[in-house]
Homo-oligomer: A and B are copies of this chain.
Amino acid sequence: MSHPLLERHRPLLDQALATIATRGYWSAFAESPSPKAYGEEAPEAGRAAFEAHLGKAFELDQPGQCGWHTDETSPYGVALDVRYPVCDPQALVAAAQAAMPAWQALGAEGRVGICLEVLQRLNRQSFEIAHAVMMTSGQGWMMAFQAGGPHAQDRGLEAVAYAWREMSFIPAQATWEKPQGKHPALVMQKHYEIVGRGVGVVIGCATFPTWNTYPGLFAALATGNPVLLKPHSNVVLPAAITVRTIRAVLAENGLDPNLVALCLPPDRKAAQALYTHPEVRSIDYTGSNTFGQWLIDHCRQAQVYAELAGVNSIVIDSTDDYQGMLRNLAFTLSLYSGQMCTTSQALVVPAGGIETDEGHKSFEQLGEDLAGAIDKFLSKPEVAQAVLGAIQSDDTLARIDAAGSGAMGRVVLAPRSLEYAEFPRARVRTPALLACEADEAGHYAQEQFGPISFLVRARDTDAALALVEDLTRRHGALTLAVYSSREAVIEAATRVSWRAAVALSINLTGGVFVNQSAAFSDFHGTGGNPAANASYADSAFVANRFRVVQRRRHP
């Protein structure tokens, strides 16, 4: 019943299963891009593999090809010039469906074994993928390596572990024997088949092309579904590399590689026809509310797992480590120029200021000190470049300009352009910090994606808590933080987090940041507020991706 690849990777799976139950620290894949973890050759080989893609056609041998996609751009201003196959989505769906029965017949053991093998292969490609993620998303190198490589692989493995756990509860067969008093028992032999729902479409985003893609990709695959991976049209290479690796592993194992394909529809109409295709039964999506809501409204034939925009908040009531808090916030607001769905946007502060280990700080003083902390943190160019990365989209650039102009609130810290010697055309911006009143919701109560944060003045801490609860319930959030040296406030914030269904970080003053989420331990999104209808990862993320079809007969 088992599968050689499952046997080979069984220890990895077992450790993942143990960790999702105990939720302590564990990472399956080394997050350090060190030769010790990846081998002396890996950095150079990865760079060479990345560079070998540039200026070329990325051949995938997929059905229905009708052109080439060439829209990719780099926030670092580097010419990529990779051409990707544009295929008729209907042909991809048909081919995916044709590949599905053999994938079903492989059983949970075989499917999970293949997924684990794919993850191992992807891990060995971490340097290549890191360059691809960095150059397309604009992430700094270290984040591109970690979030694009091992952390994304960890989230993929996590999804596989959840899928395995749920599927492993389904016995292949059972003997049902019902006593009938003096008469012979009624006996039925029953079989239970795990059947995927049908073609899954996984729609990637421009900022985390692997981290936000792998959970849905591997959850859908492991549970018996083909997957069409539709990357953001400007950020294709990480997805293309991933798809090629999966197709290679499938072919090596005698499976139809068309089970997984890169999907770049020729136009908007073809894309919409794909998403509403009756055989597309699941859609995983990360991105804007507008399009996410379109998917939810129109793709009624599919389960839609959506991570949308939100407004992440912090309530700052008090602290006994003022400098630690400022340093922590400065890093959070700077990292990848705030282009994370987990970055805090609304920092809500009592009008009367806050008590700290350095005495009372007024609302204005806090703003000044936080601005100073950000400036100081980014004062060394090499730190700034490594942390900020580049701005992914024109829309974000425009928002930063608007923030700097004062149109969105009083400017506490103006955003600046930075030069980047290695990439002279890179578009790099430092964070904008604005201040406004609680009743100026027009400024802060919608997602301002990018390095734009607001110090929001609330009447007092109770009002601040009520404000963030309302914000989160109405607009959604993936993260909430509180700083307080009063347990009663932390308790109140905890109750807010329950009612608004948002993960809470308390008094982060060290090396953990509110926008970070660790696979196997932290749930990313709760699925319980408007920012996301699903979580990475939990049982609900996998359990409805397959169905069980039974048959019974007398023996």
Contact = CB atoms under 8 A, between A and B. Distances in A.
Interface of A: 20-25, 104, 165-166, 169, 171, 174-180, 186, 188, 190, 192-193, 195, 197, 296, 300, 490, 494, 497-498, 501-512, 518, 521-523, 526-528, 535, 538-540, 543-544, 547-554
A188 B23 CA distance: 11
A548 B526 contact: yes
Contacts of A192: 23, 523
Contacts of A549: 497-498, 501-504, 526, 528
A501 B24 contact: no
Indicate how many identical chains form the complex. Answer: 2
A505 B554 CA distance: 9
Contact of A186 (B165, B503, B512): B512
B501 A547 contact: yes
A374 to B, nearest CB: 22
| Among A177, A501, A535, A548, residue most surrounded by chain B Cβ atoms (within 10 Å) | A548
B551 A540 contact: no
Contacts of A550: 503-504, 522-523
Contacts of A494: 551
A180 B498 CA distance: 32
A430 to B, nearest CB: 27
A528 B24 contact: no
A550 B523 CA distance: 8
A174 B551 contact: no
A532 to B, nearest CB: 10
Given A186-B510, A512-B186, A521-B190, A551 B171 contact: no
Contacts of A538: 543, 548
Given A169-B21, A171-B21, A498-B193, A548 B521 contact: no
Contact of A171 (B22, B171, B490, B544): B22
16 contacts: A21-B169, A22-B171, A165-B169, A169-B539, A176-B518, A186-B512, A192-B523, A195-B526, A497-B549, A498-B549, A504-B549, A506-B553, A508-B554, A526-B547, A535-B547, A543-B544
A540 B177 CA distance: 27
A550 to B, nearest CB: 5
A176 B25 contact: yes
A177 B528 contact: no
A163 to B, nearest CB: 11
Nearest to A520: B176
Nearest to A539: B543
B554 A24 contact: no
A175 B23 CA distance: 8
Contacts of A504: 549-552
Q: Which 8 A-B pairs have the closest CB atoms?
A: A506-B553, A528-B547, A539-B543, A23-B174, A540-B544, A540-B543, A504-B551, A25-B178
Contacts of A179: 25
A530 to B, nearest CB: 11
A381 B376 CA distance: 93
B174 A24 contact: yes
A552 B505 contact: yes
Contacts of A175: 24
A71 B552 CA distance: 41
Given A501-B195, A526-B549, A547-B501, A521 B174 contact: yes
Contacts of A25: 176-179
Contacts of A22: 171, 174
Nearest to A181: B32
